Structure 1
């Protein structure tokens, strides 16, 4: 069974992306932190035994830090996150039997988490990684993707995980350990790896 990892990423541009974080730390620091998170995502996926696809939010970057020899590059399509994920899954499922999607803003995600997710799909229809903010950081399926998981969700809110799990209840699904994705200053203020970026931040 062939494995495919989809990585959703925003085209890194100053003043775009990580807006909730930028509201506290400023555009430049938020931009630097996002580039740091992208580097971490490359580090934990580079050697993963799977076909790896990077799906950009707006346009292809063929000459960036994502090695063209390692990552297949695509552009997201759809009006909201659900439509974009559905489109990416549909494309990947045409060629691969086990497909997992992650974002690119998880500092506490490791390669072994991704390996475990693919292993779980050997014996499960689906796998989900809950995020501590009420969303999810990883979603994966084997052979079939139910359309309802991408529909009728208020993306970016703490209801996404609960409502997605309801959609998975008819399947044999597995759950990974919770992880903390980075959206707000509070998500990183006490994490050692981010302190170099926060040393000059004065939060009242």
Structure 2
């Protein structure tokens, strides 16, 4: 029997003024929000690189008219990148990325964003290890969403009919998993940074 093939999907944006962390920017301004996003990108990239898991970065928009996937992105050294296809919802974009990873030969696929400063290589390793004995692994965020979702097979129901960016995402996803009869492993709960209040909570925790 062949060994399972892991693949990590990273949903990200290019660090461009006025196009990242818009909820945070409403509280602290565009320039400060961009600086925070660059910090979060560096944390995520460090965890992904240290984990040494095959990964693809999916950018929310094409970075420049002349850029293509053969051009390395400075925030993601050595990692291939693609552009998320046009879709009506985040769920559709995520399901497409999962579909592409499974079609490419991966047997265990996980997705992360770039909002969680607590993400580490150890958590990424734990996620893929959990998929050895569970159908699904989730990393709960304390805002009611999740910072990581991992699967052994694509289940489109997990990405449909969600009110994205609200506190209902995780409970609705877990309810779908239960209806599908999926065994679920949960990672430690972490804190996402999406607003000025989130940022203050993160800074306060770092100061301890």
State how far apart, in whole Å, the 2-side matches of 1:67 and 1:135 are: 25
Q: Which residue of 2 aligns with 1:200?
A: none
Structure 2: tracts of 5 or more residues without a match: none
Provide the C-alpha distance between the structure 2 equivalents of 1:125 and 1:190, rounded to a whole number of angstroms.
33
Residue 131 of structure 1, aligned match among 116, 130, 141: 141
For residues 179 and 36 of structure 1, the distance between their equivalents in structure 2, rounded to whole angstroms, comes to 17
Q: How does 1:14-29 map to 2 (within 5 A)?
A: 14-29=17-32
Tell me the secondary structure at the aligned position of residue 9 of structure 2: strand
Pick from 31, 35, 48 the counterpart of residue 32 of structure 1.
Answer: 35
Structure 1 CA distance for aligned equivalents of residues 200 and 121 of structure 2: 24
Residue 190 and residue 157 in structure 1: after superposition, are their counterparts in 2 closer, same or farther (change >3 A)? closer
SS at match of 2:116: coil
Contact 1:55 1:73 in 2 (8 A): yes
Shift of 1:49: 3.0
Q: After TM superposition, where is structure 1 displaced by more than 2 Å over at least 4 residues in a row?
A: 60-64, 66-69, 190-195
Of the three residues 166, 188, 191, the one matched with 2:175 is 166
Unaligned runs of 5+ in 1: 196-204
Matched, 1:105 2:112: no
Find the counterpart in structure 2 of residue 8 from structure 1: 11
Correspondence 1:54 to 2:57: yes
Q: Deviations over 1:22-65 (max 9, x none)?
A: 11110000001001100111111112232111000011563432
Q: Deviations over 1:146-171 (max 9, x none)?
A: 11011000111111111000111110
The answer on whether the counterparts of 2:130 and 2:185 sit within 8 Å (CA) in structure 1 is yes
Q: CA deviation at 1:80?
A: 1.2
TM-aligned CA distance change 1:131 to 1:190, over 3 Å: closer
Work out whether residues 5 and 106 of structure 2, in 8 Å CA contact, stay in contact via their aligned partners in 1.
yes
Structure 1 vs Structure 2 CA RMSD = 1.8
| Alpha-carbon distance in structure 2 between the residues aligned to 1:190 and 1:82 | 28
Q: Is the 8 A contact 1:54 1:72 kept in 2?
A: yes
- The answer on whether the counterparts of 1:14 and 1:27 sit within 8 Å (CA) in structure 2 is yes
TM-score, length of structure 1 as denominator length = 0.90
The 8 Å contact of residues 128 and 136 in structure 1, kept in 2 or not, is answered as yes
Kept in 1, the 8 Å contact 2:72–2:80? The answer is no
Work out the number of aligned pairs and report it.
194
Distance 2:193 2:205 in 1: 11
Q: Distance in 2 between matches of 1:53 and 1:127?
A: 19
Pairing 1:176–2:179 present: no
